Amino acid sequence: MNLRDIHTPVLLDRCIDLLAPALADDGAVLVDATLGMGGHAEAFLERFPGIRLVGLDRDTDALRIAGERLARFGDRVILVHTVYDGLAEALSGAGIDHADGILFDLGVSSLQLDVADRGFAYSQDAPLDMRMDQTAGTTAADIIAEYGEGDLRRIFERYGEEKLAGRYARAIIAARSEAPIDRSGRLVDVLVAATPQAAQRTGHPAKRVFQALRIEVNRELSVLERAIPDAMATLPVGGRIVVMSYQSLEDRLVKHAFADASRSTAPRGLPVELPEHAPRFRLLVKGAELAADDERARNPRATPVRLRAAERVREAV
């Protein structure tokens, strides 16, 4: 498998530019909180020969592939099997007391999408798994088999922003009473059959349901809600964090975390802002940055990306 054929790092040059000031000193620590197959990590290690990299991933296949890819960098690389809300513990376990730069590239990875038997892609028939960490946890097939109609509707609405959530939940309950829905192809058939013709013209009926199932299986939003503030707490003054999101629910959580950290906590009407009320972070980009048209043309997976970045400017009191 040629990694470069299936994995083109998104917004690579922009990530390097944003994190470069925090990685200028020898011994600086970069945490790649979503290592994947190591594309971003490899580029940073080449560009900054004095840094150490701590790479995190819950996917053991990704860690194995990234480990092979990054082996030439020797002891500059530490790989940890963990979810990204375990970032602080991973640093502590490696004997490192802070991170100078942190990169999150959220969502499903190229490896997970392109390996059919992982069950992430609605375009390929496979077991309904969707676990990023295949060593533990509930599968998408378990959720389809065990959740009631109300819970299915809830996750489709909340995590997929699916307007036909109720219709799809009812169709799944009816279909599973006849035979188990344990493969992606069967689930797609159920969803397509339940979708009005007019709605089918606006996009694939399974897209939002598969997103919702993936988020539920991997507890992505609850993990992210903990992970971003915890990660920011590991940064010293001058440390930087870059987060790339691929759907609105992720981006909203990142936006709120960054907004909270970059606003003054001074009581309204206070004539002078005391130092302890000053913002702890400053935003490095205005709003969320998108990929340029030429990158989207080269790499379609860059199309939905939303990038946000921040720098610590004050220690916590």
Annotated binding site for S-adenosyl-L-methionine: 38-40, 57, 84, 105, 112
Helix-helix angle 60-70:39-47, to 10 degrees: 30
CB atoms within 10 A of CB 202: 9
CB atoms within 10 A of CB 240: 23
Q: For residues 193 and 183, what is the distance between their CA atoms, to the nearest angstrom?
A: 16
Q: For residues 249 and 107, what is the distance between their CA atoms, to the nearest angstrom?
A: 11
Closest among 256, 313, 264 to 284, alpha carbons compared: 313
Tokens 């206070």, residue?
270
Backbone φ and ψ for 233, nearest 5 degrees, come out as -70, -20
115 Cβ contact list (under 8 Å, min separation 6): 61
Q: Where are the beta strands (DSSP E) in the chain?
A: 29-32, 52-57, 77-81, 101-105, 240-245, 281-283, 306-312
Residues annotated within the binding site are 38-40, 57, 84, 105, 112
